[in-house]
Chains A and B, each alone.
Chain A
Amino acid sequence: MDKQPIDNTKESRLSAQQITRNFDDLHPPLNAQQAGMEASRCLFCYDAPCVIACPTAIDIPKFIRQIATGNDVGAARTILSANIMGGTCARACPTEILCEQKCVLAKGEDHPINISALQRHAVDPVIAAASSHLFARKPETGKTIAIIGAGPAGLSCAHALAVLGHDVQVFEAREKPGGLNEYGLAAYKMVNDFAAREVEFVLGIGGISIEYNKALGRDVFLEQLQEKVDAVFIGIGLGNANSLDITGESLNGVQDALQFIADLRQAKDKSALEIGQQVIVIGGGNTAIDAAIQAKRLGANSVTLVYRRGLAQMGATAWEQDLAKTNGVVLLEWSKPLKIQGKTKVQSMVFERTKLENGKLLATGDEFVLPADQVLVAIGQSLENQILGDLKTKYGKIKVGDDGQTNICGVFAGGDCIASGEDLTVQAVQDGKIAAKGIHNYLGGGNV
Chain B
Amino acid sequence: MIRATVTAMAWQLGRSKGTVAGKMPLQTFDAETVFLLQQMNQMPDYLRFPFKMVTLFYGLHTILTHGKPFHALQPQQRDAVIRKWKHAKISFMSTFIRFFEGLVTVHVYSRQ
Are A and B associated in one complex? no
